[in-house]
Amino acid sequence: MHRLFCLLSEHGVQVINLDISTKENKEKYYGFVKEALDISDERTSLILCEPYECETILTELTEYNLIHRTILYLFYWSYGSVSTRFLETISEAMRLAIITNPRPSVFRIYYNQATAHLLHHLSLVNWWSGRLYKSPVLPPADKVYCDFKGRVLKVPVLHAPPWHFVKYNNDSSVNVTGGRDEKLLSLIAKKLNFRYEYYDPPERSQGSGISGNGTLKGTLGQIWKRKADFFLGDVSVTWEGLQAVEFSFLTLADSGAFLTHAPAKLSETLAIIRPFQWEVWPLVAATLLMTGPALWAVIAAPSLWQKGHKNQLALFYNCCWFTTSLFLRQSSSKEPSSTHKARLVAVLISLGATYVIGDMYSANLTSLLARPAREPPIGTLPALEEAMKNRGYELVVERHSASLAILQNGTGVYGRLARLMKRQRVQRVRSIEVGVRLVLARRRVAVLGGRETLYYDTERFGAHNFHLSEKLYTRYSAIALQIGSPYLETFNQVIMSLFEAGIIAKMTMDEYKNLPEHSRRSDPVSESEQDSSEPKESSGTTSQTQQVESTKGLTPVSLSMLRGAFCLLGIGHLLAALTLAIEIQLHRRSKIKTTVEPSTNRKPVRVSVVIKAQKCFRKYCSRVARTMYRQVDRALGPGVL
């Protein structure tokens, strides 16, 4: 042994000699191996002990999960054959070799990863009798696991369209009817010559990471406990997941997103005034106030230096009312001056009021009636946060998923969303499909998940019913395997070849082409699911009324679209009646005043101006109502009204 250590030191190999017969040194050795796992350093352990001690050490290494392809355990079996207990304890992911000495100067080397189809088995791979029979000493894994020789692998499966379409039977068995990942797995199995057996995992969830009490649920927990060989589905590559499993080369380049209900239509009653936002009114008022003085300045400018030429105050009033009547599209007002400059200004004002304001309004009104306006959609995380705070929106995620881990471990807006979710009665759903059904049944609900999965479900249940947000973060999906899985590199080679050839993208697109068939098979959303806290998948036998929005993009014209025009017509008549009443009262008061003061010959300018304003306003209200009625009729087409 001393000679062996000297030879290793001469070749630059670091050697650590530990006597693990004591408990303290044994714990030190296990810590040394765990440190190698944390830094992904390659280590080789040569363990010299009695056969019964080899069984104990192997059991403890398995319990501590000190298993990885970068760590090789060499046990020296001093006498006899390898025990059954030792063989049953060997995990496939553990690289383990046994050195025996059947006769002097002859050493045999047995290896557990020499065959891909035999478990708990040691195969003779090399021997030494003065020199090695083969080089390298142990066969490489990529050559061994290129052919599984018909081995059956246990694979958990979840119903997650379009990756897997699963039917759950009453006897706890599953029937996979299709899906992108089902096709991908069949290609890998055909290439590597293995068979696979699906089974229904506990809790039917994906799993995200090891919890504080040292447990991991879902399919990732099954792989972490080495009860399943691998899992192929919509599983995201995350740091939390890497603590329990290993991921292959990516099978999907995706991004995170959230899904909300389609924005609702705004009230069609207010469509007639919706073209004018509040920013327009100050400009219209400023234009109306400036045109009158501008016309007065054009008319009065040549004679301002002459005293007593004309009553400038009355001219100013006439110019203001003339421009107001032009804006109100009244033709009965007399022009204050017949000069060419004044007529040019009046023509410009008339053209601006008629063709700019009137025609633009008619065009906007026509477009709003043809395609009714909707609420602003929720497309960003700050908008979703504001909706959850002020509008009563709720956010749900798939339980034991990567999206839930992002909310729980995130900071900033993700942390605030997680705190807002604590106020909800329902925070987690069984699957993304259940969350999409919940969004379809209830308007103020959003579901967070993978964008590809959400997009596929929107196509299944009707894209017009949903609004998909913008991309939030990069998200990659891959195959989850056991830590130290010996066939990880073989899987990567096959997946990379399929990815580079575009076959994986082609299989994904084929699922969208087959969407109408799967959509017909999907169960409808019923009222019974709307009332439950977590909607269950319908069995297809319910007879409740389905809540499905109309798939038509355009709807025929109805009286509900014209409520705004009739309301405006009623308001116009009401204002005209009110103006008439005010005009009658002012006329009576003017008669009384002229009777009390018969000696005065002064024209009541202020009273006449008020009366003129009332007449103009009354005519405006009636004319606007008739004009709007004609514009709506022209926008909808002849013969509708």
Question: What is d(CA 178, CA 176) in angstroms, rounded to the nearest whole number?
Answer: 6
What pLDDT, on a 0 to 100 scale, did the predictor assign at position 394? 93
Kindly indicate the confidence band of residue 35, based on its pLDDT and cuts at 50, 70 and 90.
confident
Question: What is d(CA 349, CA 329) in angstroms, rounded to the nearest whole number?
Answer: 11
Q: Give DSSP secondary structure letters for 257-316.
A: EEEEEPPPBPPGGGGGTTTS-TTHHHHHHHHHHHHHHHHHHHHHGGGTTSTTSS-HHHHH
Q: Evaluate if residue 630 carries a pLDDT over 80.
A: no
Q: What is the CA radius of gyration of the chain?
A: 41
Q: What DSSP state is assigned to residue 356?
A: I
Question: For the residues 131-152, what does the mean pLDDT come to?
Answer: 89
Kindly indicate the confidence band of residue 218, based on its pLDDT and cuts at 50, 70 and 90.
confident
What pLDDT, on a 0 to 100 scale, did the predictor assign at position 309? 52
Tell which wins on pLDDT, 497 or 410. Answer: 497
Give the phi and the psi of residue 67 in degrees, each rounded to 5. Answer: -130, 125
Question: What is d(CA 380, CA 235) in angstroms, rounded to the nearest whole number?
Answer: 24
Kindly indicate the confidence band of residue 128, based on its pLDDT and cuts at 50, 70 and 90.
confident
Q: Evaluate if residue 199 carries a pLDDT over 80.
A: yes
What pLDDT, on a 0 to 100 scale, did the predictor assign at position 239? 86
What pLDDT, on a 0 to 100 scale, did the predictor assign at position 631? 63
Fold of 2-139: Rossmann fold (3.40.50)
For a pLDDT cut of 90, what percent of the chain falls above it? 24
What pLDDT, on a 0 to 100 scale, did the predictor assign at position 551? 40
What pLDDT, on a 0 to 100 scale, did the predictor assign at position 377? 86
Cα 84 to Cα 55, 91, 122: the distances in Å are: 10, 14, 11
What pLDDT, on a 0 to 100 scale, did the predictor assign at position 364? 64
For a pLDDT cut of 70, what percent of the chain falls above it? 75
Task: Evaluate whether 630 touches 640 at the Cβ level (below 8 Å).
Answer: no
Span of 69-73, 492-496, 559-563 with lowest mean pLDDT? 559-563
Query: Yes or no: is domain 275-370 CATH 1.10.287?
Result: yes
Amino acid at the residue 10: E
Question: For the residues 381-407, what does the mean pLDDT come to?
Answer: 90
Residues 6+ apart with CB under 8 A from 516: none
Q: Evaluate if residue 487 carries a pLDDT over 60.
A: yes
Angle of the 312-327 helix axis to the 280-300 helix axis, nearest 10: 140
Question: Tokens at residue 56, please?
Answer: 């104990």
Query: Mean pLDDT across the chain, nearest whole number?
Result: 79
Question: For the residues 421-437, what does the mean pLDDT come to?
Answer: 90
Cα 371 to Cα 293, 535, 553, 560: the distances in Å are: 41, 33, 9, 14
Q: Evaluate if residue 446 carries a pLDDT over 90.
A: yes
Q: Evaluate if residue 534 carries a pLDDT over 70.
A: no
Q: Is pTM beyond 0.75 here?
A: no
Tell which wins on pLDDT, 296 or 222. Answer: 222
Question: What is d(CA 15, CA 18) in angstroms, rounded to the nearest whole number?
Answer: 10
Q: What is the dihedral of CA 548, 552, 553, 554, to 10 degrees?
A: -130
Beta-ladder partners of 153: 196
Q: In whole angstroms, what separates CA 40 from the centre of its chain?
A: 35
Question: For the residues 18-46, what does the mean pLDDT come to?
Answer: 85
Residue whose token pair is 């696979």: 196
Give the phi and the psi of residue 338 in degrees, each rounded to 5. Answer: -105, 15
Tell which wins on pLDDT, 392 or 516. Answer: 392
Q: Evaluate if residue 602 carries a pLDDT over 70.
A: no
The candidate with the shortest Cα–Cα distance to 160, out of 250, 255, 234, is 234
Span of 23-27, 212-216, 256-260, 450-454 with lowest mean pLDDT? 212-216
Kindly indicate the confidence band of residue 275, based on its pLDDT and cuts at 50, 70 and 90.
low
Beta-ladder partners of 164: 160
Q: Is 226 left (phi over 0), alpha (psi -120 to 50) or beta?
A: left
